[in-house]
Amino acid sequence: MAELNRTPLYDLHASLGAKFVPFAGYDMPVQYALGVMKEHLWTRENAGLFDVSHMGQVILRGPKAAAELETLVPQAVQTLKEGRQRYGFFTNEDGGILDDLMFANRGDHLFVVVNAACKEADIAHMRAGLETTSVEVITDRALMALQGPKAEAALARLVPNVVDMAFMDVETHASDFGELWISRSGYTGEDGFEISVPANSAEALAKCLLEDETVEAIGLGARDSLRLEAGLCLYGSDLDETTTPVEANLVWAIQKARREAGDYPGFARIRHHLTDGPARLRVGLRPEGRAPMRAGTPLYAEEEASQPVGEVTSGAYGPSTECAISMGYVGTAHAALGTPLWGEVRGKRLPVTVCELPFRPSSYKK
């Protein structure tokens, strides 16, 4: 087995008693002493610090960077104002999703953050697809997320101006820890920030944030249950090369003009799904009992039906919702809110209802 990569915060995780798991080629903390449930609840009430340095940080530079990135994603990039960030995805010729990403307009360049598991492929994809734009992979920076209702106060102790940032704003700030590239965003449904920091001062910054009594280190386990409650997709589980953005219920992330026209890969199929409707849709699922319906659980329209009408792609017990929650894909005829379905868990058909996403309201800073 190939040796696992370590992030600049590895030693800190170890000193905090993290339990590590291999994730996308990295040895990552899945939980700390608190455990997944308490880490999840802590983030919802206080502030959680996540190491997301395994994700890919890339700078796209060149006069045509925005126009050229628009040839790879269905999003509008050229209309994105300086100091703002957008959610997007790379599509293939069939309109399937190659990866989802965040991109920001930082004035003289675009800053892109991609998933760890896809980053090599994404970088190759951008190098091949962006004709005149340079693709600079950032390897000397760590990335951390500070999430939760007390994130703003905790970060403002070090960078007072962050209180003026709105959701999806990006700013550059000088600090005792070098230049910080801060966005007001995250992956938990909470207000919070993602902070790109020079690798050699990442541990000092993390320690400084953790000194605040409202901040705890949070592992990948809670990151997953937090994002699921927030109705956010995990690439590789809820999104893959076979799902179009329309099937994935991500039409909101395609700006209006780009739904009508665009020379991005898969436009024809996405357009077709937009006008005629897709055959399946991503939906929220609320199991009636406590038993979690995890990824792979087949979904049936009737208790006795032989052919499934869908499948769960993410499922867990929601520590904040205090019930089992799932999301998955079902045939469009079964996607209406309130549709009763059956999920097969350990050979038993258990009732589950199509429900709204997210499972709890998000609290982004407007």
Partner 1 sequence: MKFTEEHEWLRVEGDVVVVGITEHASTQLGDVVFVELPEDGGEVAKDDEVVVIESVKAASDILAPLDGEIVEVNAALTDNPGLVNEDPLGEAWFFKMKVADLSAMDDMMDEAAYKDFIGA
Q: Which one of the spans 86-94, 166-174, 261-269, 286-294 is the region binding partner 1 (CB under 8 A)?
A: 286-294
Half-sphere exposure of 191 (CA within 13 A, CB side): 19
Q: Is 31 in the site for partner 1 (CB under 8 A)?
A: yes
Q: Is 292 in the site for partner 1 (CB under 8 A)?
A: yes
Least separation, in Å, of the C-beta of 319 and partner 1? 8
Least separation, in Å, of the C-beta of 289 and partner 1? 8
Q: d(Cα 243, Cα 95) in Å, to the nearest integer?
A: 8
Residues with Cβ within 8 Å of residue 252, at least 6 apart in sequence: none
Restricting to residues 66-125, name those near partner 1 by CB under 8 A: none
150-165 burial code (b ≥16 CB/10 A, e <16): bbbebbeebbeebeeb
Helices (H), 185-296: 199-211, 220-229, 256-260, 267-276
Least separation, in Å, of the C-beta of 118 and partner 1? 24
Strands 134-138 and 47-51 turn out to be: unpaired
Q: d(Cα 298, Cα 132) in Å, to the nearest integer?
A: 46
Closest C-alpha to 215, from 157, 163, 162, 146: 146
Q: Closer CB to partner 1, residue 127 or residue 348?
A: 348
Q: Which of 17, 22, 35, 63 binds partner 1 (CB under 8 A)?
A: 35
Least separation, in Å, of the C-beta of 312 and partner 1? 14
Q: Closer CB to partner 1, residue 146 or residue 345?
A: 345
Q: Which of 12, 18, 36, 155 binds partner 1 (CB under 8 A)?
A: 36
Q: Is 294 in the site for partner 1 (CB under 8 A)?
A: yes
Q: d(Cα 245, Cα 89) in Å, to the nearest integer?
A: 9
Q: Closer CB to partner 1, residue 346 or residue 366?
A: 346
Site string for partner 1, 305-324 (x = CB under 8 A): -----------xx-x----x
Q: Is 253 in the site for partner 1 (CB under 8 A)?
A: no
Q: Is 221 in the site for partner 1 (CB under 8 A)?
A: yes
The conformation of residue 188, written as its DSSP 8-state character, comes to: S
Amino acid identity, residue 282?
R
Q: Which of 4, 6, 24, 37 binds partner 1 (CB under 8 A)?
A: 37
Q: Closer CB to partner 1, residue 64 or residue 294?
A: 294
Contacts with partner 1: how many residues (CB under 8 A)?
16
CB 110, CB 104: distance < 8 Å: yes
Q: d(Cα 354, Cα 352) in Å, to the nearest integer?
A: 7
Q: Which of 76, 291, 301, 355 binds partner 1 (CB under 8 A)?
A: 291
Residue 291 backbone phi and psi in degrees, to 5: -65, 120
Name the site residues for partner 1 (rule: CB under 8 A).
Answer: 31, 35-38, 221, 225, 290-292, 294, 316-317, 319, 324, 346
